[in-house]
Amino acid sequence: MIAFVALVAVLGLSQSARLSSPHFENFMMEHGREYSTEVEHNVRYWTFYKNMAKWELMAKTEQGTATYGMNQFADLTEEEFSALYLSPVSAKDTFYFNMLPEAEKLDASKAADEVDWRAKNAVTGVKNQGQCGSCWAFSVTGNVEGRFAIKNGTLISLSEQELVDCDKVDQGCNGGLPYQAYDEIMRLGGLVKEEDYPYTGKDGKCTLDVSQIAVDVTGKEKVSTDEAQMAAYVAANGPVSIGLNAAAMQFYTGGVSHPWSFMCSPAGIDHGVLITGYGTEGGKDYWMIKNSWGTGWGEKGYYKLFRGAGCCGCNQMVTSAIV
């Protein structure tokens, strides 16, 4: 932000020289933006246009059918976006992940060509993590919700706030890891319903009432990095938690996203999401991914990511609870 303030000064713009354009004014109106000072307004104006160059580059280099453009994140710098919404994975996290028990290998040739667990009442509605780095918690509850619904025939929306507040290993709004959260759920005795422990979007004191626990977890496992095996696992068991690099997601608006690896490194995992199925669209195989940025983002809260090339590291950290 300091750099942009300096840029305003270099260009000779005073604090009262309010920058304006139809694109930026439309953005402010659509997303209800109000800035406290003219300086902040101008900083956000320049950030918006810097981001516009990014989404135009994403569109020009796209290998799939995805579109990119203005959304609720258009006035955030890359650093702000990462701090508010993402949860970077370290080399140490990857080391411990590799020690997880592996899921049984399946006959991938028998997996269906398309799977959509939403149509089978195993996926709750899209949620919104707000400005809290709790994506890991939403990824975990989505996985547990799906596994429980498939096993018991009842879909229950589970509490992310319980994990944000009561998980002693992960860091709440400052990030976490699904494979650690499974252990914490077992330590806590299970997860309660969303309605019994509502989401606040900020770190809080644990107020878990164990008498309200609705779903318990008995174990955890990691899924193969082979995407044919991943598809077979999703088809057989339900939605899975994954980590990926969210570089292509900030300005995603629809279609099958297939960015070049140099723009979305598989090594840069920083976001937890949920694979709810897979399919093919316009000749492009894709993973159907449930995100936690509300229904106003992407395809009504969903992201289609090209399947079969390890895009953005989507196959590197795939896990599931055992319910």
Enzyme catalytic residues: 135, 271, 291
Bridge partners, residue 290, by sequence: 274, 302
Phi, psi of 29 (to 5 degrees): -65, -45
Q: Report the alpha-carbon distance of residue 192 to residue 197 in Å, rounded.
A: 7
- Alpha-carbon Rg of the chain, whole angstroms? 20
Q: Report the alpha-carbon distance of residue 23 to residue 52 in Å, rounded.
A: 10
> Phi-psi bin for 87: left (phi > 0), alpha (psi -120 to 50), beta?
beta
Q: Which helix (H) or strand (E) holds 252?
A: strand 252-254
Contact 120, 162 (CB under 8 A): no
Angle of helix 22-31 versus helix 38-61 axis, rounded to 10: 100
DSSP state of 174: B
Q: Cite the DSSP H helix spans in 218-322.
A: 227-237
Structure tokens at 319: 């896990």
- From 163, 147, 183, select the one nearest 276 (Cα to Cα): 147
The number of residues in the chain equals 323
